[in-house]
Structures are given as structure tokens and as C-alpha cells.
Amino acid sequence: MSVVSIAQERRNMDQDQLKRAAAKAAIDDVVPGELVGVGSGSTVNFFIDELGAIRDRIAGAVSSSERSSDRLRSNGIEVLDLNTVVAAGRRVPVYVDGADEINPRLQMIKGGGGALTREKIVAAASEKFVCIVDASKQVEVLGRFPLPVEVVPMACELVAMRLRALGGTPVQRTGFVTDNGNLILDVAGLSITDPVATESVINQWPGVVTVGLFAQSAADLVLVASASGVLRIERRQ
Ligand code: 5RP
């Protein structure tokens, strides 16, 4: 292994330790006896494993991806269908998920793992969004991470053309189909100074299923792990 790849592996290990620390801290926000909304991604995988240790103290989970559902079940946690939960008038007090970027207003770019649509749905069905990140995800302005946009396949070129007109450079995610059977465009080069406006503009285009901006509904709480510990930042109303 080269010196460069050893250094990269050490950085990844360090980042994994931080992700695990943020995930562990989120257990304090889980409401005993209630359902938990569960996001997707490598940070959430650590959270699911922590949740496994307290599975007897929760009523089950509502999941945002097939991958998270599989991991929840392998941790002995029942995964409930969202429609059944909503129809029964059951509460989902907390939704825990990671982010690709988060700004000081707790607005996020999500969808690096391609689960953005179900993530937005489960977040909307939950009372409180707890975002778990390592400090590398904090930014002043969203957009350095390419913005994921889930699109219906036949609208891919049309949406890409409109994203170019907004100043972005969309690239179709290679060999990737979402859990909903759609495609993802990853849009580089956007400096998103008004995330609420950008979210609502892109949302309205025919063929767009979901834009990976979580700005109109930001996180309520972020747990940021760094070398000095896990910082809790509540959203200012
Ligand atoms: C998946 C997501 C993830 O939350 C986001 O990509 C962060 O992932 P990770 O925890 O692996 O860094 O939005 O669609």
C-alpha cells in the first residue's frame, strides 16, 4: 500500500470514529417506547447498530431505504410501513439522519447515498429531525457537494438542461437506480445562497421527484462530532 493510500485510510478511520460518536450521541434523543425514523448512509449505519443495543426500548423503526431496512432487521428491529403508521395515527417523535453538507441555519444537502426521496418523506412524517455529522460536513454556503436531484428517467435530459441554465453542471450518477426506480443527477458548481428558493424552484420542474436540498424543512438539532467531542446545536426558530 502506498504512503498516500495509507494516509487516506487513516483519515477514513478517523472520520468513521467521529461518525460513530455522533451516532452514539443521538441515542439520547430516541424516545423510549416510541417509533424511530431512520435515515440512510454510513453515519446512520452506526446509529442503527447503536439502536440494536436498545431495541427492547423502542417500538420499531420507519426506514428511508432498503439498505437501512435490511440493517435494522439484522439488528432485530421491526421495520414498519409508513402508510400503516400514519393511518394508525402513530407518532414518530424523532428522525435521525446524516447529511452531505449542513449550514449554520441547519439546512442541508442530502442524497449522496441516493435515498433523498424517502428521507424527505420520513423526515416530514416525524416530529423532530436530528442530524448526525462529523465536523467535515459543516459549511457556510451549501453547494460544494454536488446537489443530488432524483428524476423520472424520461425527464433526465430536460431537467439537466434546466439545471445547466441555473449555472450547474449535472452529471447522471453512473449505474445507479433509486429505490423508487428513478435516476439521480449530481449537480456541481452551484453556490446555493438561498437554499429555500433553490429548493422550491427545482421542486416545481416536471420530472423532478425530489431535490436533495432540505431547506424549507431544516434539521431541528445537529450533533456535530469533532476531535473535541460532540456538539449539540439546536435550530434557532
Ligand atoms: C443518503 C444521505 C446521507 O445522509 C448522506 O449522503 C450522508 O452520508 P454519510 O453518512 O455516509 O456521510 O443523504 O441519501
143: Cβ below 6 Å to ligand 1?
Answer: no
Q: Which ligand 1 atom is the nearest neighbour of the CA of 97? A: 4
Predicted pLDDT of residue 174:
98
Cβ(200) to ligand 1 under 6 A?
no
Q: Alpha-carbon dihedral of residues 71, 229, 137, 211, nearest 10 degrees?
A: 50
Mutate to test the pocket of ligand 1, among 67, 101, 110 (most ligand atoms within 8 A of CB): 110
Q: For position 236, what pLDDT does the model report? A: 87
Rounded to whole angstroms, what are the CA distances from 73 to 49, 204, 234? 11, 36, 31
Q: Is the per-residue pLDDT at 151 higher than 70?
A: yes
**Residue 3 confidence (pLDDT):** 58
Distance CA 91, CA 69 (A): 19
pLDDT of residue 83: 98
- Say if residue 12's pLDDT is above 80: no
From the CB of 168, is ligand 1 less than 6 Å away?
no
Q: Which three cell numbers stand for residue 209?
A: 421527484
pLDDT mean over 70-95: 98
Q: Which three cell numbers stand for residue 226?
A: 469533532
Residue nearest to atom 7 of ligand 1 (CA): 99
Q: Is the CB of 178 under 6 A from ligand 1?
A: no
Nearest-CA residue for ligand 1 atom 8 is 41
CA–centroid distance, 112 to ligand 1, in Å, is 5
Taking 70 as the threshold, does the pLDDT of residue 9 lie above it?
no
- Please report which confidence band the pLDDT of residue 1 belongs to, taking 50, 70 and 90 as the band edges: low
Band (191; pLDDT cuts 50, 70, 90): confident
Residue 114 alpha carbon, nearest atom of ligand 1: 14
Closest alpha carbon to 107 in 236, 219, 232, 221: 219
Measured in Å, residue 5 CA sits from the centre of ligand 1 at 23
Give the residue from 171, 43, 160, 62 showing the smallest Cα distance to 102: 43
Share of the chain above pLDDT 90, in %: 93
- Note the pLDDT of residue 2: 67
pLDDT of residue 53: 98
Residue closest by Cα to atom 1 of ligand 1: 113
C-alpha cell at 79: 421495520
Interval 72-90 mean pLDDT: 98
The residues annotated with a catalytic role in the active site are: 119
The answer, yes or no, to whether residue 46 has pLDDT greater than 70, is yes
pLDDT at 44 over 90: yes
What is the pLDDT averaged over residues 219-235? 97
- What spacing in Å lies between the alpha carbon of 39 and ligand 1's midpoint? 8
Our answer on whether the CB atom of 120 is closer than 6 Å to any ligand 1 atom is no
